[in-house]
Amino acid sequence: MKNIIKTNTHIFFALCFLLLSGCGGNVPKLGKLAPADIIVAFGDSLTFGTGATEAESYPIVLGQLIARQVVRAGVPGEVTAGGIARLQEVIDEHKPKLMIVCLGGNDMLRKVDESQTKTNLRTIIKTIKSQGISVVLMGVPKPALVTSAPPFYEDIAKEFAIPYEGKIVTDVLYQRDQKSDAIHPNAKGYRRMAEALAALLKKAGAV
């Protein structure tokens, strides 16, 4: 009986691990980035690096991890509608080969209708892809005591067949030693975000 319980416990934790690691699903492939290719991290305060120094923000750390230039194009407080408004200017200025989109948290904080947030994110991704630029999407959690990234992030990633990282921000914000306040990581948390994205880009074949 003890052996059966022990075996079932092992199975339970193995299943939990699979769920947390995305069930081992395949990551959509991206084109290989040349050393001189530019990546733009496009988003709000999580991309800007609020709660840490510029050098500790996830885009700067990510650039060091993958030996590529990663532009920190984050605007604190930005909603998805604001992202649409400045997107083309950012593309024209930096001419990236890849963009990492991390938006939606401020929409949720301001109680923007979820359907509008989804529409705006789709518009952002369509605009990027229409110009031959690869896209990676990051999901952010709903403001709540027990939370996770809303399912619409993953739905959008599947719709456009793009790589998606939907767990790391939530996981960081559950760790007291990895956040500077209730909704922002600290330097340690941003490094974990950068490490997760570096791993995703490697799985996708971009680096």
Cα distance between residue 55 and residue 61, in whole Å: 7
pLDDT of amino acid 144: 83
Q: What tokens appear for 134 in the block?
A: 């690869």
Residue 101, helix vs strand vs coil: strand
Residue spans per domain, the chain: 34-203
| pLDDT tens, per residue, the chain with 207 residues | 444 444 343 433 333 433 343 334 689 999 999 999 999 999 999 999 999 999 999 999 999 999 999 999 999 999 999 999 999 999 999 999 999 999 999 999 999 999 999 999 999 999 999 999 999 999 999 988 778 999 999 999 999 999 999 999 999 999 999 999 999 999 999 999 999 999 999 999 999
Q: What tokens appear for 158 in the block?
A: 């599947």
pLDDT of amino acid 25: 61
Q: What tokens appear for 106 in the block?
A: 């401020």
Q: Are 121 and 63 in contact (CB under 8 A)?
A: no
Q: Are 52 and 45 in contact (CB under 8 A)?
A: no
Q: Are 184 and 45 in contact (CB under 8 A)?
A: yes
Cα distance between residue 139 and residue 147, in whole Å: 12
Cα distance between residue 7 and residue 202, in whole Å: 34
Fold annotation for 34-203: Rossmann fold (3.40.50)
pLDDT of amino acid 145: 76
Which pTM value belongs to this model?
0.87
